[in-house]
Amino acid sequence: MSAPRDEFPVDGVPAADEVAAEGLPQGDELTIGQERVLELISYVVVNLVSRPADVTVDILHRQDRDVYQVRVSPEDLGRVIGKGGQTARALRVLLTAVSARTDQRIGLDIVE
């Protein structure tokens, strides 16, 4: 059994304060809730893929919700989506639980 990847530093995976916050007004910083959601998504996705250095997470603001856009390498796309979309659905369920506790409206997009 291998050790979890969070024990080792991963080059190329942005920290929560380094993530591009596209779609947010210029000069706005991430809220604590946004940072925690970003960390959760990053942790789960980085531990799923074989190329964690290629993982990026952007935050877009659409209508009344924050949409977290996850980009992975094309070869890891299937791992993040899962068979029949089960992994993506499970990640969205986690985000639904987080949004209920933080009163945020959260969306998730997985793109190549």
Token pair recorded at residue 66:
């924050």
> What residue ranges do the domains of the chain occupy?
30-111
Whether this prediction's pTM lies above 0.85 is answered by no
Q: Residues 6 or more apart from 32 whose CB is under 8 A from it? A: none
Task: Label residue 37 by pLDDT band (50, 70, 90).
Answer: very high
Q: Give the mean pLDDT of 13-26.
A: 44
Per-residue pLDDT of 54-63, as tens digits, reads 999 999 998 8
Per-residue pLDDT of 45-100, as tens digits, reads 999 999 999 999 999 998 889 999 999 999 999 999 999 999 999 999 999 999 88
Give the CATH H-level superfamily of domain 30-111: K homology (KH) domain (3.30.300.20)
